[in-house]
Structure 1
């Protein structure tokens, strides 16, 4: 299934105040880096710096007062995304000659960014928390499976560590974008798979293949490579069971949920149906702005242990 921006409801989970279960209320904060910064958030929007380019984008979780005034936002920003519907919109140019295509770095990796009609620009910066986890836990020669893989940041982080990487997405344009990022970063040999993520994972299970790391960033809803309808809440347990079968002993699983119909408690129940409780780590994913505003980015599951039979 695709992680196409059209189908991914960025930060569209239930508000953080309603997503909590006893003993599992830990927050993990993604952090800014030299080429990316969450500058401010509030009034249903967020202000971000991507290299030298600053954007204003809608943000459903930013239902609080921003740190800076709207005039300050507009004075800083190059582009503002204006929603035309729940899934599409257009970019309003706020400064003449602002680029529509540009490049930023994350450590030694390079990413091509561009304005899209889905408000995204080609990178989900809150995933920095997971990129760090992958870099710390994956060893050279180990294997990573990246499902719903989008433009490939997690794949590039793993490949830069010397891992073998299989990158799966059902939208060819996303694979092309990811391959371009691989070339920009001076990397090679990521295996690109144009396929429905869950179907591919099940075939890998039948083939007896295993992985040392699996990352899944599934959309809340969407369409498969052949138009199949998808709702995350209907597929969650199947995804986790399949991932369990694919994991090598000692391997790790990372799963993010952005679906408004999958609360942290739902994620916990699905995880406990597939893994032992002591294997499971549940968190909320957050990022803090330069102005001190804390922004919620969805729920995060990590599994780090032997396969539970």
Structure 2
């Protein structure tokens, strides 16, 4: 759901926004208590120890799970049904982590990853699993999450097969790579290895749109040639921290953003001259300033360097302005499928009104404007609200309006003024719905509610409360991020009488 990003950078999964309709700190909520687990017997296991293991199933993060002397063993890269020799990498009280030392019996669904570094960074954890099985796995992730939290009636939910892609590669419209110098002094750009700050250089990336990698590698070469001051994380010195390249799938626009440690950008003129000459596809060049050591990629200040200040993407016949920090789904092809499923789930009838509680730049709300009597949305980021209203005007949409604020503040105010929405659509970040927003939805009680989730675990947790007042008609999973363990889902809910 579009919004403005400020995320960490451990891997491809961290592009989801941190904020939206409500306060992003999770409110304390009371969930159904779970039966106390039996005490796991103490097992003497040492790091480096090896033992044979049969993989019984796959966990929600795509890792294989087996059992050694009744202790769960989590093994990235192992598949259900495989027999492996596991090598312990860490020991906890109730579980072990391990790596595959050797595969003794291989799954028929194992394939060779296209990326040699698929086991080193986030974003490729299922690339060794054939795609039809990836789709089955993602439906199972939803089922596992429901089983864990057990919302009312969950055993009878209609879990529909995951909607996938004809070609599950080359779909990511944005590359957001850290930039560092290696020990030899060469400029590298890539992602951090799992559980570390060791940069893995990514000269290629099969899940990225080709133009994003072409621009990324060309700019890295320019930084090397111009001897640009590259950020040193340990010393806290240097200038260029991160490169962000975003391409619009349905226009020819490409935006390049330099995220820097200060407002300075040495050799700026030479750099921009080379970009204009060698990369004519780049239509927008920006600089975002994010000083000091921080887990957040983006800073608060963004400056215009060359070309346009924003790029334009098209969706369902509508044009959307995307500024540097505007969030957009990373898979533009599946995004159209996702929003079509949201439309179908809402099933708006003539005269019905809808609230988009995490409106961002307005993609979902504006896509509903042609069938709704009125669309209202809100966001806590002023730039997002301004973009949403501007996008409405640019597309000639007069029945959609966006305001600055949280849903828990604005919804009661609108109801008091006589506006009673027939439907609400929510598309929260990975942390799920804010507790206060759930209370507000249950107080307003619109007849229709659609929940677009990017995290089955927080979806299941939120359904514990929502399912008391709403019936879950079905859950339609959509594969927005092939080759990863991430799963998006559209949930159709109807108010109980």
Deviation at 1:31, TM superposition (A): 6.4
Match of 2:367 among 157, 162, 165: 157
- In structure 2, how many angstroms separate the alpha carbons of the residues matched to 1:74 and 1:154? 23
Q: In the alignment, what sits opposite 1:102?
A: 311
Deviations 1:151-198, CA, capped at 9 Å, x for gaps: 101111111224301111111100111122213322224222111122
What SS does the aligned partner of 2:429 have? Answer: coil
Q: Structure 1 residues 38 and 145 mapped into 2: Cα distance closer, same or farther (>3 Å)?
A: farther
Return 207-216 or 121-130, whichever deviates more: 121-130
The CA distance in 1 between the partners of 2:16 and 2:327, in whole Å, is 15
Does 2:268 correspond to 1:70?
A: no
User: Cα–Cα, structure 1 residues 287 and 162, in superposed 2: closer, same or farther, change >3 Å?
Assistant: same
Alignment of 1:1-309 (within 5 A): 3-6=3-6, 9-10=14-15, 15=61, 20=144, 21-22=146-147, 23=155, 26-29=160-163, 39-40=169-170, 47-49=171-173, 55-57=174-176, 70=204, 76-77=211-212, 78-80=214-216, 89-91=242-244, 96-97=279-280, 98-100=282-284, 101-116=310-325, 122-123=328-329, 125=332, 127-136=335-344, 137-207=347-417, 209-220=419-430, 232=432, 235-236=434-435, 238-248=436-446, 251-258=447-454, 262-276=457-471, 279-287=472-480, 293=483, 296-303=486-493, 305=494, 307-308=495-496
Contact 1:150 1:175 in 2 (8 A): yes
* Cα offset, 1:99, TM superposition: 1.7
User: Within 1, Cα distance between the matches of 2:165 and 2:350?
Assistant: 25
C-alpha deviation, 1:115, in angstroms: 3.3
* TM-score, normalised via structure 2 length: 0.43
CA contact (8 A) 1:114 1:122 kept: no
Could you list the runs of 5+ residues in structure 1 that have no partner in the other structure? 41-46, 50-54, 64-68, 222-231
Query: In 2 relative to 1, CA 7–144 (structure 1 residues): closer, same or farther, beyond 3 Å?
Result: farther
Q: Counterpart of 1:225?
A: none
The higher-RCO structure (CA 8 Å, 6+ apart) is: 1
Would you say how many aligned residue pairs link Structure 1 and Structure 2?
A: 259
For residues 349 and 315 of structure 2, the distance between their equivalents in structure 1, rounded to whole angstroms, comes to: 19
For the residues of structure 2 that align with 1:189 and 1:74, how far apart are their CA atoms? 35
Matches of 2:317 and 2:210, distance apart in 1: 31
Provide TM-score, normalisation by structure 1: 0.64
Q: CA deviation at 1:213?
A: 1.7
Name the CA distance, whole Å, in 2 between partners of 1:71 and 1:146: 34
Q: Alpha carbons of 1:165 and 1:280: their partners in 2 closer, same or farther (altered >3 Å)? A: same
8 Å CA contact retained: 2:379, 2:404 = yes
1:18 shift after superposition: 5.6
Q: By how many angstroms is 1:255 displaced?
A: 1.9
* Equivalent pair of 2:176/2:244 in contact (CA under 8 Å): no
Q: 1:38 to 1:160 in 2, by over 3 A?
A: farther
Alignment partner of 2:369: what SS?
A: helix
Query: Quick check: which has more Rg, 1 or 2?
Result: 2
3-state SS of 2:486 partner: strand
CA distance in 2, matches of 1:74, 1:194: 33
Structure 2 Cα separation of the partners of residues 30 and 246 of structure 1: 35
Poorly superposed stretches of 4+, deviation over 6 Å = none
Mapped partners of 1:134, 1:188: distance in 2: 21
Shift of 1:39: 3.9
Whole-angstrom distance in 2 between the partners of 1:158 and 1:74: 28
**TM-align CA RMSD:** 4.3
